Structure 1
Amino acid sequence: MGALNDLTSSSLPDGVIADAFARAIAVATDYAGATSPNPPVGCVLLDAAGNSLAVEAHRKAGDLHAEARAIAACRAAGTIDRIHTVVVTLEPCNHHGRTPPCAEAILSTPAREVWIAETDPNPRVEGGGAVRLAAAGLSVRFLSELDHPDRARLASEAERVIAPFAKWVTTGLPFVTIKQALDETGSMIPPAGQRTFTSETSLTLAHRMRRRADAILTGNGTILADNPEFTVRRIPDHPGKSRILAILDRTGRVPADYLTAAAQRGLRPMLFADIDDALTRLGSEGVHEVLVEAGPTLTAAILSTDIWDEHVAIKKAGDGGPDHITISRNHIKKG
């Protein structure tokens, strides 16, 4: 999408905008998993010299959106009159929901330029915010136009942040991420007496992935073999977050006491006969991203289909070095 009301003479240097996009994407990523049914969004406000005035994110549904929170921060700091450029990971909304439109919040400031990483994938509102801002005389530009060596990387990161919401809002289904830990031979089975063989760094990554997910999907074999907790432990979890634990259990083998204990840990266990039913139900529950943490059989079965979106393979190095992490993407649907 090209620039709207492109006032290039007033633009800040591309390096300044790239740095602002990086910070906006980072803060949005911090809140991935906390905002459903809304998307995670990050916003950076800059003055005419390119100085950062505020860096904020949408933190949870019903709370201020990223742009409104950043503007409120400037108002509290007495710097609202210095706002010149708005850098945001997702097109500002232009409709009334649980909070007022962000486009109108931006127009209440002296901002003259808005940079957007991703257009809104919601088919009911696409284009509204950018068009509204341009119609009011602001220069509206997009990350795809940025002349900077980091543009492709930033675009990929911004797309990944919004991908679960984009898939859910356009298909009604969750974004499916598969986490797979492998030893140096390619086996998923830990040595006798151990529950894992990956490094501390990889274990922390696994908990970050769990933190951003709205649901965990596993099979009854994993439950019976490992009695897993499926909680976020190595990093702080989102306050008040309650994830669905979707268990494929066609034969009814999962013990009732495991389900009770999972609920006591803050999970919402649900049993399903097959994965298609599970994904349909999870989508109806507002799940944006489901993390598959399962054994070799179920993992291979899902990877053999077209229902997964991202596969994160963590492989232990045979030479004792750091684990090898490979991320594959099947498809990211944006509508």
Structure 2
Amino acid sequence: MMIDAILSPARVIQGFSDALAAAEAYAGATAPNPPVGCVVLDAAGETLAVAAHQRAGQAHAEAAALAACRERGAAARIDTLLVTLEPCNHHGRTPPCVEAILASPARTVWIAVRDPNLAVAGGGAARLEAAGLEVRFLSDLAHPEASDLVRRARRLIAPFALWAREGRPWLTIKQAINRQGDMIPPPGASTFTSETSLTLAHDLRRRADAIITGSGTVLADAPAFTVRRTPDPRPFARRLAILDRRRRTPGDYIAAAEGRGFRVSLHDALPSLVSELAADGVLEALVECGPTLLASVLETGLWDEHVVIRQAARAGDADHIERFARTADQA
């Protein structure tokens, strides 16, 4: 399908980049909904609004962006929407986004990825097309950056997709390895990674609905597990799940963690913990623990992403970051 002469592939790419950035800012704050971003353009390709779904029960990204256009007196100029996820066509806590789009002058809707919920996948796009709108998919765009943006959009909703498909949370394992090949910081230090790697670690923590650790880590380091290097838009308490068969976790540590805003719970085994987290609406959990428990988690096959931070060989150099997916379709 040919692209409008005015709305060039480069403009579509920039619009999706902006929409993804808006959605990523709220990753971890929208459970049980996925994070979604939307950009609204006029016929000349000028941005009228950028919005994201911020939390469950609030306006979805498309409705929020269209409302912003109305508030700015630009509703009549609405022409194209670029959405990171297929607009919903079913009633939940908010009305369907398809209805908000159809109530606007929009003529074209670009979609990064289809809805992963098999019960509704394709329904939003089909209804828009049936109403006469042009629906296009980022994966069909002939631009060298399109595939990277599609992968970025898929990763953004990967926890939601897994929950919709298998009914369990996405588990991300974070592991930092020093130059000696182990995970132990030098005496008197709490870490050995670079500033950039520390920010990455806090980004991973921010997007997680729960932190999973072990009693050994608690006893050795008494980690705070708070998000400090990046804004944390989470409107509700984060879970702190401690694997502790022998119930060694000190009561004062639990009290202090609750004072930091966590909901703390002790557990005997990872499989039952994963089931409990799923029932609690957790979309993504971050595993932060020592080498023994980390190896055990890897052996279970319940993890989905393994982020490995390897300390740079020389001081001042950038650490080496590797991301491993458990299955090929998650890469």
For normalisation by structure 2, the TM-score amounts to 0.96
Does the Cα contact within 8 Å between 2:28 and 2:234 map onto a contact in 1?
Answer: no
Q: Find out whether 1:150 has 2:140 as its counterpart.
A: no
Matching residue of 1:3: none
Checking the alignment, whether the CA contact within 8 Å between 1:7 and 1:139 is kept in structure 2 is no
1:30 is the counterpart of 2:25: yes
Identify which of 311, 314, 317 aligns with 1:319: 314
CA deviations on 1:260-319 (whole Å, 9 max, x unpaired) are 111111001111110001111001100000000000111122223321111111111121
- Aligned-residue offset at 1:239: 4.7
Could you tell me how far apart the structure 1 residues matched to 2:214 and 2:66 are? 46
- Aligned residue in 1 for 2:288: 293
> 1:129 aligned to 124, 128, 134, which one?
124
Unaligned 5+ runs, structure 2: none
Q: Is the 8 A contact 2:85 2:114 kept in 1?
A: yes
CA distance in 1, matches of 2:210, 2:184: 23
Aligned to 1:231, the other structure's residue is in SS state: coil
Compute the displacement of 1:130 (Å). 0.5
Q: How far, CA to CA, are the matches of 2:312 and 2:2 in structure 1?
A: 51
Deviation of residue 170 (structure 1)? 1.4
Secondary structure in 2 matching 1:169: helix
Partner SS state of residue 304, structure 1 = helix
State how far apart, in whole Å, the 2-side matches of 1:207 and 1:115 are.
32
Partner of 2:231: 236
- Report the alpha carbon displacement of residue 167 of structure 1 after superposing the two structures with TM: 0.5
The match for 1:99 among 78, 88, 94 is 94
Q: Hey, what does 2:298 align to over in structure 1?
A: 303
Matching residue within 169, 172, 177 for 2:172: 177
Cα deviation per residue 1:152-202 (whole Å; 9 max; x = unaligned)? 110110000000110012111100101111101221011122111111221
The root-mean-square deviation of aligned C-alpha atoms, in Å, is 1.5
In structure 2, distance between residues paired with 1:12 and 1:179? 40
Preserved contact between residue 167 and residue 332 of structure 1 (Cα < 8 Å): no
Aligned AA for 1:117?
Answer: A
CA–CA separation in structure 1 for the residues paired with 2:33 and 2:158:
12
Task: Answer yes or no: is 1:59 the counterpart of 2:57.
Answer: no
Structure 1 CA distance, aligned partners of 2:238 and 2:148? Answer: 30
User: Structure 1 residue 87 and structure 2 residue 78: aligned?
Assistant: no
Whether the 8 Å contact between 1:163 and 1:332 is mirrored in structure 2 is: no
Residues 6, 45 of structure 2: 8 Å contact kept:
no
Cα distance in structure 2, aligned partners of 1:286 and 1:333: 23
TM-superposed CA distance for 1:123, in Å, is 2.2
Contact in 2 for aligned 1:90/1:120 (Cα 8 Å): yes
Q: Within 2, Cα distance between the matches of 1:287 and 1:135?
A: 35
Measure the CA separation in 2 of the matches of 1:186 and 1:118: 39
| Percent identity between the two aligned chains | 57
Alignment-derived partner of residue 274 in structure 1: 269
The correspondence of residues 104-253 of structure 1 with structure 2, limited to 5 A, is: 104-253=99-248
| CA–CA separation in structure 2 for the residues paired with 1:253 and 1:169 | 35
Structure 1 unaligned spans of 5+: 1-5
Q: Match of 1:284?
A: 279
Conservation of the 8 A alpha-carbon contact between 2:55 and 2:235: no
Distance 2:327 2:20 in 1: 21
Aligned equivalents of 2:4, 2:187: Cα separation in 1 = 66
Structure 1 residues 34, 86: CA separation in 2 closer, same or farther (over 3 Å shift)? same
Query: Secondary structure at the residue paired with 2:225?
Result: coil
Kindly report structure 1 stretches of 4+ aligned residues shifted beyond 6 Å.
none
Per-residue CA distance 1:216-268 (angstroms, 9 max, x = gap): 00011001100011111222221533110011001111112211111111001
Partner of 2:67: 72
Matched position secondary structure for 1:56: strand
Instruction: Give the Cα–Cα distance (whole angstroms) in 2 for the partners of residues 57 and 83 of structure 1.
Output: 17
Structure 1 residues 97-119: Cα deviation after superposition (integer angstroms, max 9, x where no partner): 11111001001111111110111
Contact 1:117 1:142 (C-alpha < 8 Å) held by counterparts: yes
SS of corresponding position for 2:106? coil
SS at match of 2:300: coil
TM norm structure 1: 0.95
